[in-house]
């Protein structure tokens, strides 16, 4: 078994050397004054953070600025502790900074607010008294909300027509002859289950329109066929609706998707892109002549950085705008959880001269402006933070962003030409007097790559303790990134007296595409040195007991936990969460093998040895550290059998192991599971480290 490294990895940290390295790795863009003057995360001292503080958290969603640019509406989520449920209310805030107004009661989970172009109405989604979320209408000048849709499978993603009368939205449609009382499942599609949704029963998502101002109007189904349709947006002239779909035979086994348009009154869809790419987000130019779209022009094996394109609405001609910026478009950060965000990560500026987009860059998620003709890129918001969503204030040139930093949950801020001003402070009261750890950023050199990481040191009385234990936390994906964002879970380690190290190893997004591709068919092998080097580096920084190092991670982070426990003796204890142990049995029992494992590894019957060589279970006999296994009963992303195999193997080997199963939870338990289950999961994790570390 490989032994732990004896010397700290070569590092570049702090001050000028850190900034120099950052600059050297920066893409070729201009940095605006607003980004240069962005505020730093505030230092917070006081009593240690508590697990129950999760019930105090308020999480802001995507800001939606009124058509006249005077105010913004946002959904704000909180936990109803007694009901063990999530609630969200709609709030309105004037952009001049005066007091906000709560628009809905917060007794339900209201989200996805969308202004009508005339500013008279807010469409939003809410479950309220119905089993599934429906679309509701709220008059903006006073009055009660009224339910607009009443569909069996609910309604979502509302988008207004320019006439402020019609809406387009999505809803799932039952297959012909579907009987909800019949419990035998007859499956013919490769896409038959999905994590967080369960078994799909042949239901498919279609586009619908409705006259929002006619009390008697019924939804009209716009698309047809056995395909999935998403992200509908109405054209500025009201004649067309753009959307994303794959309408090819066998689409459920393909990674491709296209941009389409369809007449708003119904008809045959028209494909704008060539069938070789994959696209996720859309935005019409103000004059309706073009569409901005995020994705890749040609799908290839393995991970690719999503890029920004402009498509001629008539010609379908595709023009790349972000080709020189080798970064992933969109928010690829997963430090969260974040608020109820449902908006697009790309938006045209009101004058139609540029497109603003969320970009993942070196841990941060920032807003970058791309000029529509030249592609020139300008960073509008500062690094060392995580922008989760944004919108434009028409006429003023200002941006409204939802942004979180390491010591502050996401709040709304207004970005001006020269800086920012605070708009909301939902979490100010409970944060006052609470000790929140500020992460220390570091960079190390590992196998020819610069690896970015952060160290959280203990808060409260533990901050003065010499040589504290260390826990390595590994993110999922593998193609994602840790970000300098507020995380109640990560902060709890510091509050309980642990130092916590987390990095973006090779395979992470937020860096050049080749960096993300280095783990292709090399999980655990290519990136393991990055984790080990980071551990040795932070131990070398001082104040940490290098003999007491623990390891944890979820999803791919659970895979790495299993892998490192079986291939090194560096870690004294491990907590593996929603993990992968056997790659061979993973194929076909999860919900995304055909679009995740297939492109990188092929199939297990073509190369069974490769699958087994990449399976942590191959090395299970080498695991001697105590292991806590956490898994959700309804996890379809990393199925329960992965945890069961690992547990039985460790029991058969006589190891110290405990297996905790959470009922009625999916892969997303740590982010959106039942609040009490989230609390218990975290308590059990910390208790395991306390017992064995």
pLDDT tens digits, 303-320:
999 999 999 999 999 999
Tokens (6 digits) for 547: 């003999």
Q: Of 262, 291, 290, 195, nearest to 635 (Cα)?
A: 195
| Beta carbons of 70 and 95 less than 8 angstroms apart | yes
The predicted-structure confidence for 41-72, as pLDDT tens digits, reads as follows 988 989 999 999 999 999 999 999 999 999 99
Question: What confidence tens digit (pLDDT) does each residue in 132-152 have?
Answer: 999 999 999 989 999 999 999
Asked, for residue 7, whether it belongs to a domain, the answer is: no
Spatial separation of the C-alpha atoms in residues 18 and 105, rounded to whole Å: 47
> Binning pLDDT at 50, 70 and 90, where does residue 22 land?
low
* Dihedral angle of Cα 284, 289, 294, 300, to the nearest 10 degrees: 150
Question: 73 near 64, Cβ under 8 Å?
Answer: yes
Q: Are 500 and 555 part of one and the same domain?
A: yes
565-574 pLDDT per residue, tens:
999 999 999 9
What number is the average pLDDT over the span 280-302? 94
Q: Which of 482, 468, 435, 481 is nearest to 538 (CA)?
A: 468
Instruction: Express each pLDDT in 242-286 by its tens digit.
Output: 999 999 998 988 899 999 999 999 999 999 999 999 999 999 999
Using a pLDDT cut of 70, give the percent of the chain over it.
96
Query: First vs last Cα of the chain: how many Å apart?
Result: 22
| Average pLDDT of span 588-600 | 90
User: Any idea what the CATH number is for the domain that residue 618 is in?
Assistant: 3.40.50.1820
Residue 342: which pLDDT band, with cuts at 50, 70 and 90? confident
Buried b (16+ CB within 10 A) or exposed e, 280-308: bbbbbbeebebbbbbbbbebeebbbbbbb
Same domain, yes or no, for 375 and 451? no
pLDDT at 463: 59
Q: Is 491 left (phi over 0), alpha (psi -120 to 50) or beta?
A: alpha
Residues tagged active-site? 555, 667
Q: Report yes or no on 514 lying in a domain.
A: yes
Domain assignment present for 548: yes
Picking from 420, 436, 452, the residue at the C-terminal end of a domain is 436
Whether the upstream peptide bond of residue 337 has omega within 30° of 0, thus cis, is yes
> Both 362 and 331 in a single domain?
yes
The answer to whether residues 481 and 451 touch, using CB atoms and an 8 Å cutoff, is no
The candidate with the shortest Cα–Cα distance to 577, out of 511, 487, 668, 672, is: 668
Average confidence (pLDDT) over 598-618: 94
Domain count, the chain: 2
Query: Considering only 328-337, 343-352, 543-552, 661-670, which range has the smallest mean pLDDT?
Result: 328-337
Q: Is the pLDDT of residue 462 over 80?
A: no
Q: Residues 683, 582: one domain?
A: yes
Q: 386 and 533: one domain? A: no
482 plus 404 within the same structural domain = no
Which of the four pLDDT bands, split at 50, 70 and 90, describes residue 363? Answer: very high
Residues forming beta bridges with residue 166, ordered by sequence position: 211
Q: What is residue 336's predicted lDDT score, i.e. its pLDDT?
A: 74
Structure tokens at 450: 């610069």
List the domain range (segments joined by +) for residue 558.
437-692
Both 520 and 650 in a single domain?
Answer: yes
Q: Are residues 677 and 640 in the same domain?
A: yes
The predicted pLDDT at position 106 comes to 85
User: What is the rounded CA–CA span in Å between residue 53 and residue 430?
Assistant: 8
Residue ending a domain, among 436, 461, 486, is 436
Q: Is residue 112 part of a domain?
A: no
Query: Which phi and psi (to 5°) does residue 405 adopt?
Result: -125, 180
Instruction: Give the model's pLDDT for residue 318.
Output: 94
Q: Are residues 425 and 506 in the same domain?
A: no
The edge-to-edge listing of strands for the beta sheet with 318-320 is 278-284, 290-296, 307-312, 318-320
- Give the pLDDT mean for 505-516: 97
Please report whether residue 374 resides in a domain: yes
What are the backbone dihedrals phi and psi of residue 557, each rounded to the nearest 5 degrees, phi first?
-65, -30
Q: How confident is the model at residue 14 (pLDDT cuts 50, 70, 90)?
A: very low
Residue 36: how many other CB atoms lie within 10 Å: 11
Dihedral pair phi/psi, residue 558, rounded to 5°: -70, -40
| Among 378, 411, 436, residue at a domain's last position | 436
Are 448 and 494 members of one domain? yes
Residues 400-416 have pLDDT tens digits of: 999 999 999 999 999 99
d(CA 558, CA 523): 12
Q: CA-to-CA distance for 345 and 342, rounded, in angstroms?
A: 9
Do the Cβ atoms of 416 and 495 come closer than 8 Å?
no
d(CA 245, CA 489): 36
- Res 15: pLDDT: 47
For 116-132, write each residue's pLDDT tens digit. 999 999 999 999 888 89
pLDDT confidence of residue 5: 35
B/e letters for 380-391, b = 16+ CB within 10 Å, e = fewer, are bbbbbbbbbbbb
Contacts of residue 328, defined as CB under 8 A and 6 or more positions apart, other chains included, come to: 305, 306, 359, 360, 509, 510, 516
- DSSP structure class, residue 567: H
Residue 11 in domain: no
pLDDT of residue 382: 92
Give the CB-side neighbour count of residue 28, counting CA atoms within 13 A: 7
- Residue with tokens 């969109």, as numbered in its chain: 330
pLDDT band of 395, cuts 50, 70, 90: confident
In a domain, 195, yes or no: no
Half-sphere exposure (Cβ direction) of 63: Cα atoms closer than 13 Å: 33
Euclidean distance between CA atoms 68 and 74, whole angstroms: 16
Residue pointed to by tokens 């003065």: 464
The predicted pLDDT at position 335 comes to: 76
Residues 485 and 600 reside in one and the same domain: yes
Phi, psi of 568 (to 5 degrees): -140, 165
Nearest to 539 by CA among 633, 622, 463, 471: 471
User: Does the residue 623 lie in any domain?
Assistant: yes
> What is the structure's pLDDT at 595?
86
Same structural domain for residues 480 and 424?
no
Q: State the Cα–Cα distance between residues 470 and 110, nearest whole angstrom.
A: 40
Tell me if residue 522 falls in helix, strand or coil: coil
Query: Does 681 have pLDDT greater than 50?
Result: yes
Average pLDDT, the chain: 93
Signed CA dihedral, 551, 554, 557, 559: sign only: positive
pLDDT digits (tens, 9 = 90+) for 172-208: 999 999 999 999 999 999 999 999 999 999 999 999 9
């Amino acid at each position: 078994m490989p032994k732990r490294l004896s010397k700290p990895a070569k590092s570049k940290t702090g001050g000028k050397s850190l900034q120099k390295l950052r600059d050297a790795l920066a893409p070729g863009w201009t940095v605006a004054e607003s980004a240069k003057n962005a505020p730093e995360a505030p230092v917070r001292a006081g009593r240690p953070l508590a697990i129950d503080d999760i019930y105090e958290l308020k999480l802001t969603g995507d800001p939606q600025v009124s058509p006249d640019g005077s105010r913004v509406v946002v959904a704000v989520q909180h936990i109803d502790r007694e009901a063990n449920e999530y609630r969200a209310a709609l709030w309105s805030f004037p952009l001049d900074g005066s007091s906000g107004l709560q628009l809905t009661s917060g007794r339900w989970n209201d989200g996805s607010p969308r202004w009508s172009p005339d500013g008279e109405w807010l469409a939003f989604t809410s479950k309220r008294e119905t089993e599934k979320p429906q679309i509701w209408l709220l008059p903006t000048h006073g009055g009660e909300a009224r339910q607009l849709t009443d569909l069996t499978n609910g309604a979502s993603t509302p988008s207004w027509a320019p006439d402020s009368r019609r809406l387009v939205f999505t809803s799932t449609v039952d297959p012909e002859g579907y009987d909800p009382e019949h419990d035998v499942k007859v499956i013919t599609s490769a896409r038959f289950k999905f994590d967080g949704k369960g078994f799909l029963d042949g239901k498919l998502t279609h586009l619908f329109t409705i006259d929002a101002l006619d009390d008697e109007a019924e939804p009209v189904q716009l698309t047809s066929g056995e395909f999935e349709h998403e992200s509908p947006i109405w054209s500025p002239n009201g004649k067309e609706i753009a959307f994303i779909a794959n309408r090819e035979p066998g689409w459920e086994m393909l990674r491709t998707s296209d941009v389409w348009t369809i007449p708003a009154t119904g008809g045959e869809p028209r494909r704008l892109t060539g069938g070789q790419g994959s696209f996720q987000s859309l935005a019409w130019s103000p004059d309706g002549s073009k569409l901005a779209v995020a994705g890749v022009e040609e799908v290839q094996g393995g991970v690719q950085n999503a890029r920004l394109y402009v498509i001629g609405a008539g010609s379908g001609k595709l023009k790349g705008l972000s080709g020189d910026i080798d970064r992933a478009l969109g928010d690829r950060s997963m430090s969260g959880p974040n608020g109820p965000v449902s908006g697009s990560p790309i938006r045209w500026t009101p004058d139609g001269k540029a497109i603003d987009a969320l970009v993942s860059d070196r841990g941060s998620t920032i807003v970058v402006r791309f000029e529509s003709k030249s592609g020139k890129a300008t960073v509008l918001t500062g690094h060392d933070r995580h922008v989760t969503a944004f919108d434009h204030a028409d006429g003023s040139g200002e941006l409204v962003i939802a942004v979180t930093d390491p010591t502050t949950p996401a709040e709304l801020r207004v970005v001006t030409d020269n800086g920012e001003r605070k708009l909301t402070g939902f979490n100010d009261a409970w944060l006052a007097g609470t000790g929140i750890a500020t992460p220390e950023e570091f960079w190390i050199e590992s196998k020819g790559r610069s690896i970015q990481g952060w160290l959280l040191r203990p808060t409260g009385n533990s901050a003065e303790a010499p040589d504290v234990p260390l826990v390595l936390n590994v993110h999922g994906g593998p193609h994602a990134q840790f970000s300098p964002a507020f995380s109640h879970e990560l902060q709890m380690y510091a509050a309980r007296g642990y130092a916590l190290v987390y990095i973006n190893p090779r395979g992470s997004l937020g860096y050049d595409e080749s960096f993300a591709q280095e783990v292709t068919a090399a999980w655990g092998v290519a990136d393991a040195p990055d984790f080990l080097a980071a551990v040795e580096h932070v131990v070398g920084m001082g104040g940490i007991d290098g003999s007491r190092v623990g390891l944890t991670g979820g999803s791919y982070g659970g895979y790495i936990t299993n892998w490192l426990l079986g291939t090194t003796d560096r870690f004294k204890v491990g907590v593996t969460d929603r993990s992968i142990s056997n790659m061979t049995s993973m194929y076909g029992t999860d919900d995304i093998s055909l679009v995740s494992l297939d492109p990188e590894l092929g199939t297990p019957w073509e190369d069974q040895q490769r699958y087994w060589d990449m399976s942590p279970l191959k090395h299970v006999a080498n695991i001697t550290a105590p292991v806590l296994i956490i898994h959700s009963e309804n996890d379809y992303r990393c199925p329960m059998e992965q945890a069961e195999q690992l547990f039985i193997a460790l029991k058969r080997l006589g190891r110290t192991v405990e297996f905790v199963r959470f009922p009625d939870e999916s892969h997303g338990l740590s982010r959106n599971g039942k609040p009490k289950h989230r609390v218990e999961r975290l308590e059990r994790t910390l208790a395991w480290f306390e017992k064995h570390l």
